[in-house]
Amino acid sequence: MSKMDRREFLVVSSTVAAATAAVGPKLFAGEAAAPKRLAVGFAPPEESAALAAASSIPAGDGGFIRRGARVTVSGASGAPADPRSRRAVDLLVNYSYFEGAQRREAPFHAWSCSRTTGCQGSPVRFTVPVDEVQKISLSVGVADGPSTPATRRRASGASPAPAGDALPVTLSMLSDPSSLKLVRGFYVIVPLFEGDGEPRWSAYTLDRREGRWALHDREGNVAPFEHFVLRIDYA
């Protein structure tokens, strides 16, 4: 590199560094505004049961093998007033099946919301067989940037969300360190931006608000961050 080239390089580098410091890292790293991971809390099905991180569940419940799992999705709570700022946009369930000798997955869009109108439909309930794979495989569709038209619930066999736009959650009866344990109770799912901390679960309780389950603080206010609740029981 010549002296003139080096001088120009240093000038340009300094200008970019100053601009980055002035506007902040999230504006330059456009993807930083997208949810990066999910925090998952859990509460047993008993009334007024305490919340804790779902990772603290010690073992899965083998009773689901004989019965299957009934999943009820309450919908999102604590969402921003502006629907364009919503993080979670849909919930996808992967049903396992055999095609000949090959196991495949059929994605089913169980719940979705609109980042245009804020509409999210009624709570939904569905059954997932777990006798063969001994787990429930879920994906939470997340979004950032401009809002898109409302999505509709699609039948089994629909295409999953694009790669990078879905965050997986697996609830398992197996000893899999990469999965959460599947038991009866309430699972609270919170999309987190990069740098967000996991909620302090013990500061909240689960209660119904406008027909759906939601986190509430000790004053009875809905938690001020976006979350939705899955209730899982025997089918």
How sure is the predictor about 34, in pLDDT bands with cuts at 50, 70 and 90? low
Task: Locate the domains of the chain by residue range.
Answer: 39-234
As a whole number of angstroms, the distance between CA 172 and CA 34 comes to 27
Q: What are phi and psi of 70, to 5 degrees?
A: -100, 125
Note the pLDDT tens digit of each residue in 125-154.
999 999 889 999 999 988 765 554 433 333
Q: Where are the beta strands (DSSP E) in the chain?
A: 37-43, 52-53, 69-77, 88-99, 102-112, 124-128, 135-142, 166-172, 180-181, 185-192, 205-209, 212-216, 227-234
Cβ-contact 120, 76 below 8 angstroms = yes
As a whole number of angstroms, the distance between CA 212 and CA 139 comes to 21
Please give the pLDDT value at position 87. 84
Report pTM. Answer: 0.77
- Worst-scoring range by mean pLDDT, 10-14, 51-55, 164-168? 10-14
Please give the pLDDT value at position 70. 97
